[in-house]
Chains A and B, each alone.
Chain A
């Protein structure tokens, strides 16, 4: 999974805290996607961003979750006031343009105490 960098790899938060997950896409990739994987499940689409634009956030929970991909710096997935049900692996993927295969990072494993 060389190229798509996610950090931190593991994140522990207490209920009510905020979680920030970062993703740096592969060099030359301007399309970023976030997916969430619950235990024993497949990955589920959350949001698709291009630089400074949210293209599709149809998979994002309506409250507490937000995402951005600023002109400079990594894409950020932000979860406010975390609850136990937010515990999951969060994967970021990138592609150079539409209709190209998405390449994934190694994920951030979020645990809520």
Chain B
């Protein structure tokens, strides 16, 4: 039961252009969404997040958009740089009974070509 889906396993863009990574979810109990970036042989690094009560959050080159009615979020990177090449994971937080956990998608591998 895949509650968080990243339907594109990979994405390739040219340096300087926009990268758009997409994520869909099914559980209405998710209250917070996060994007992590991961290089090989390293752990995920937190990038940016958004609360379920907002529809946009921006941090430098990174913007996350949330469409709650469509249960869809996206990460925009502009302009894209070769150093952005990594696997990007969408994660959704569920908080219940004093506990919280993250539910991850399978990731999208972004390649930014010089």
Contact = CB atoms under 8 A, between A and B. Distances in A.
Interface residues of A, number: 27
B100 A91 contact: no
B103 interface: yes
Nearest to B49: A101
A56 B89 contact: no
Nearest to B9: A40
A33 B101 contact: yes
B43 A4 contact: yes
A44 interface: yes
Interface of A: 1, 4, 6, 33, 35, 40-45, 48, 55-56, 58-59, 91, 93, 98-99, 101-107
Interface of B: 4, 32, 34, 36, 41-46, 49, 89, 91, 95, 98-107
